[in-house]
Amino acid sequence: MWSGFSGDKDIDKLEKVQRRFTKRLPALKHYTYFQRLNRLDLESLELRRLRQDLIFTYKLVFGLIDLNVHDFFRCSFEKVRHGHGYKLFLPTCHSSTRFNFFAHRVLRIWNVLPHDTNFSSLAGFKRSLNTNILQKFLKVYFN
């Protein structure tokens, strides 16, 4: 289960809005939240956020946006024993202000992406981020 930043309460509130809306659809009111999402071909807000965080990190690491990756992470693009070769680390910080920052939220998940994740292109990377890989990092599991 993945959590670890104080914005969880806000994410829960937003997710509740989507839960209530989908529950009000007459044909779907007796299904679980994730069954309703599947029938509507939707993803949870938490899953969409996680996917977008990882795509933003990819763009940052590979220079597809005009930001310096070293403002967010220390990079170690060496041959590694486990996982992929694009490991990221947090710069040293003696303050707790960065704890709720984007980099803390995405770092652990980025570093444990499977070794067969496609880093050759943005489109390939997006295809690699299927729901089966990402759902283990969600607070609420799919049923």
What does the pLDDT read at residue 126? Answer: 95
Which among 15-19, 53-57, 131-135 has the top mean pLDDT?
53-57
Decide if 143 is inside a domain: no
Mean pLDDT of 89-95: 72
Alpha carbon distance 125, 100 (integer Å): 25
pLDDT at 7: 60
Please indicate, yes or no, if residue 63 is contained in any of the structural domains. yes
| Residues, the chain | 143
* pLDDT one-digit tens code per residue, 40-90: 999 888 889 899 999 999 999 999 999 998 888 888 776 656 678 888 887
CB 83 within 8 A of CB 114: yes
Q: What is the pLDDT of residue 80?
A: 59
- Does a structural domain hold residue 76? yes
CA angle 31, 143, 4 (to 5 degrees): 115
Structural domain contains residue 1: no
> What SS3 string covers 69-108?
HHHCCEEECCCCCCCCCCEEECCCCCCHHHHHCHHHHHHH
The count of structural domains within the chain is: 1
Q: pTM of the predicted model, to two decimals?
A: 0.78
Checking if the pLDDT of 102 tops 90, the result is no
Taking each helix axis as running N to C, give the angle between helix 45-61 and helix 102-111, from 0 to 180 degrees, rounded to the nearest 10. Answer: 80
Judge whether 2 lies within some domain.
Answer: no
Give a yes or no: residue 61 inside a domain.
yes
- Whether 21 is in a domain gets the answer yes
Residue 3 lies in a domain: no
Segments forming the whole domain that contains residue 36: 8-137
